[in-house]
Structure 1
Amino acid sequence: MRTDVSDAALRRLAEQVGEAARAHRHTLVTAESCTGGWIAKTITDIPGSSAWFECGMVAYGYEAKQALLAVRPQTLEQHGAVSRETVIEMVSGALVHSGATLAVAVTGIAGPGGGTEEKPVGTVWLAWKRRGGYPTAVTFHFDGDREQVRRQTVAAALHGLLDLMA
């Protein structure tokens, strides 16, 4: 993915997500960590998004992930916040704690610090799930600075929502 994702490109993606959500009568929930609510912001920048956007939850710390999204303490202890297991529990918890029919969740290391050899800066886990369905989780390794990693993450999240509704 390109590191130079523009605001205009994110807006176009969010508009496409909104069109698909309306067409399929879906409502969305976001569960965000490293993006800090940027996915929800991009969605709610679209006029009329209240018709298809239910809510967004920003859960940065372990305690917030547990309280807001029902991520189990054992999951965080065994796998860490940036893991397949955690993002799957986040996306499932978002659906349980909202009235939405589709969810996207993200956890990652945007940088510039926080990376390790095993999980370098730019490591991002995204998950998508339909109510009553099974989650899909994908890991990405984005290049660039903190803003570029986060922009690419928002774009990937929106692309994944489009794929889920296709």
Structure 2
Amino acid sequence: MPSPIVLQCSKALADRQLTVAFVESATAGRLSAEFSMCPESGSILKGGLVCYDASLKENILHVPKEMLRRFTPESAEVTRELADRLQTFIPADLHIAVTGLTCPGGSETPEKPVGTMFIHLFTRGKSVAVREVFSGSPEEIVLQCIDRTAVLILAEVPVISEQL
């Protein structure tokens, strides 16, 4: 069962006849799955891509190899690029990318510890970036990130609605 904030977000999107598409790395499809279990999923969720491995970011979404090397696959810059490139693959009102570090073994540093998650949203020419550091198990980090993504969408939905 999706969290209350995801259910609220789904309803808000449906009430405004808005659609969403996701490209996921660290959440590995869980974000799309949570939204797919909402009663409004058929009218709001366009789909998603899972690009967990950096090679998929490069080979499917054509993120430049140099960008991945320079910033790391789990970075604000790459997350923005993923959200931007998703727009050419899946038509939707909101395009959202998520990357991050849910467990050791990635690009973690003292400045970017495990639990650091990046979210980027594109909608109608607007771009919004979020960086959060969560704690807990990998699943707890993913679920916190999903809820934070829903909060981000809820913050943007009224703005989008005014542009309609």
Query: Which band: TM-score by shorter chain?
Result: 0.7 to 0.9
The answer for the alignment partner of 1:45 in structure 2 is 37
Aligned with 2:60: secondary structure? helix
Name the % identity: 27
- Offset at 1:70? 3.2
| Partner residue of 1:164 out of 144, 156, 159 | 156
The answer for the alignment partner of 2:88 in structure 1 is 96
| Partner residue of 1:121 out of 114, 120, 123 | 114
Q: Separation in 2 of the partners of 1:129 and 1:142?
A: 23
Provide the alpha-carbon RMSD of the alignment. 1.6
The answer for the alignment partner of 1:4 in structure 2 is none
- Offset at 1:155? 0.8
Native 8 Å contact 2:14 2:40 kept in 1? no
How many residue pairs get aligned? The number is 157
- After superposing on structure 2, the runs of 4+ consecutive aligned residues of structure 1 that deviate more than 6 Å are none
Give 5+ residue unaligned stretches, structure 1.
Answer: 1-6
Q: Separation in 2 of the partners of 1:158 and 1:69?
A: 24
- Offset at 1:148? 1.4
Aligned with 1:116: secondary structure? coil
Please show how residues 6-45 of structure 1 align to structure 2 within 5 Å: 10-45=2-37
Q: Separation in 1 of the partners of 2:3 and 2:115?
A: 22
Native 8 Å contact 2:75 2:118 kept in 1? yes
Instruction: Compare 61-70 and 25-34 and name the one that shifted more.
Output: 61-70
Q: Separation in 1 of the partners of 2:58 and 2:66?
A: 10
Q: Which residue identity is paired with 1:146?
A: P
Q: Separation in 1 of the partners of 2:9 and 2:26?
A: 21
| Partner residue of 1:85 out of 54, 62, 77 | 77
Aligned with 2:66: secondary structure? helix
Q: Which residue identity is paired with 1:121?
A: V
Native 8 Å contact 1:110 1:121 kept in 2? yes
Highest RCO, 1 vs 2 (Cα 8 Å, sep ≥ 6): 1
The answer for the alignment partner of 2:66 in structure 1 is 74
Native 8 Å contact 1:30 1:103 kept in 2? yes
Q: Separation in 2 of the partners of 1:55 and 1:67?
A: 19
Native 8 Å contact 1:112 1:121 kept in 2? yes
Give 5+ residue unaligned stretches, structure 2.
Answer: 159-164
TM-score (norm 1): 0.87
